[in-house]
Amino acid sequence: MRSIRSALAAITLVSGALAAQQVPMPDSGAKMPMKPGMTCSDSAGHKMADCPMMRRMQGMMPPPPSGAPIFDAIGAQVAMLDRDSTTDWSKVDLEELRQHLIDMNDVMMNAVATPKKVDGGVTLTITGTGRTIGAIQRMVVNHMNTLQTSGKYVTKVTTIKNGVTATVTAPPPASEKAVARIRGLGFAGLMTEGMHHMSHHGNMARGDSMPHMH
């Protein structure tokens, strides 16, 4: 009975530890091969870190994020470049990617966006000071052009002295829901629209995309 209780207690500890790490448990029907020493049923009070099975599972987990989003974004691109045997390192341009990520952060954190409702959507006056002005003009102009080509939005962007004005409307016939969604997304939400960000970053890191002017 003692060994059974110990085994059940150990399984509970492993399940809790895996849940805390957000790692899915194996399928209940699958059989995991057990090698000598790969057991967590010891009832002597050993810590989970000393358990061979736990060490094996921890080795399968990705490293935790560093806490610096730009650092992690560039690190992710480096990992993908390393995994791809076709990477031409003579063309890789991570500095261009770094500058682009700085622009993204600058626009989201420091730009001032003033919305105005218009028929079919919204007009946004997006302004800043110092370096943020250039970041706005680089990021927003390119992004609005991308939204236009998606067919999901009709966009018009004009450069002004300290930023841009951008009008985003739903293509006709525009439903009330589509218009309300655009207005609800506002500047921040519209800037996240589209699935092109990761591929754009990957192409930029490889030196395969048209660089943003910095």
Give pLDDT tens digits for 16-42. Answer: 443 433 434 444 444 444 444 444 554
pTM for the predicted model, two decimal places: 0.61
The confidence score (pLDDT) of residue 203 equals 67
Instruction: Say how many C-beta atoms besides its own lie within 10 A of residue 185's C-beta.
Output: 16
Q: Which pLDDT belongs to residue 37? A: 47
Over the chain, what is the mean pLDDT? 76
90 C-beta neighbours (distance < 10 Å), count: 6
> Tokens representing 59?
């080795």
Distance (Å, whole) CA 180 – CA 175: 9
134's tokens: 């250039």
Is residue 71 over pLDDT 60? yes
Identify the CA nearest to 145 among candidates 135, 155, 136: 155
| 140 class by beta-carbon count within 10 Å (0-12 exposed, 13-18 middle, 19+ buried) | buried
